[in-house]
Amino acid sequence: MSQSRMVNMAFMGAALLLWFVSMQFFASVLDMIRPEWDLALIGAEFRLSDLLGIVIGVGGGVALWRHERVFALSNEVASEVRKVTWPTQDETRLATIVVMVTTAIVATCLWFFDLVFSALTRLVYQI
pLDDT tens per residue, range 35-75: 776 666 676 677 777 778 888 998 988 888 888 898 899 98
Confidence at residue 37, expressed as pLDDT on a 0 to 100 scale? 66
Residue ranges of the alpha helices (H) in 34-88? 48-66, 68-82
Which of 84, 102, 119 is the last residue in one of the domains?
84
Look at residue 110 and tell me whether its pLDDT is greater than 90: yes
Examine the domain organization and report whether 36 and 78 are in the same domain: yes
Look at residue 80 and tell me whether its pLDDT is greater than 70: yes
Examine the domain organization and report whether 64 and 22 are in the same domain: yes
Examine the domain organization and report whether 76 and 96 are in the same domain: no
Examine the domain organization and report whether 70 and 98 are in the same domain: no
Examine the domain organization and report whether 68 and 50 are in the same domain: yes
Examine the domain organization and report whether 74 and 95 are in the same domain: no
Examine the domain organization and report whether 80 and 99 are in the same domain: no
pTM, whole model, 2 decimals? 0.57
Residue-averaged pLDDT of the chain: 87
Q: Which of 33-42, 80-89, 93-102 has the highest mean pLDDT?
A: 93-102
Its sign, for the CA torsion 31, 33, 35, 38, is negative
> How many structural domains does the chain have?
2
Examine the domain organization and report whether 44 and 77 are in the same domain: yes
pLDDT class of 106 with cuts at 50, 70, 90: very high
Core vs surface per residue 89-111: b (16+ CB within 10 A) or e: eeeeeeeeeeeeeeeeeeeeeee
How large is the average pLDDT for residues 18-38?
80
Confidence at residue 39, expressed as pLDDT on a 0 to 100 scale? 63
pLDDT class of 98 with cuts at 50, 70, 90: very high
Confidence at residue 95, expressed as pLDDT on a 0 to 100 scale? 97
Full residue range of the structural domain in which residue 100 is found: 87-127
Examine the domain organization and report whether 20 and 66 are in the same domain: yes
Examine the domain organization and report whether 37 and 93 are in the same domain: no
Examine the domain organization and report whether 61 and 94 are in the same domain: no
Examine the domain organization and report whether 91 and 80 are in the same domain: no
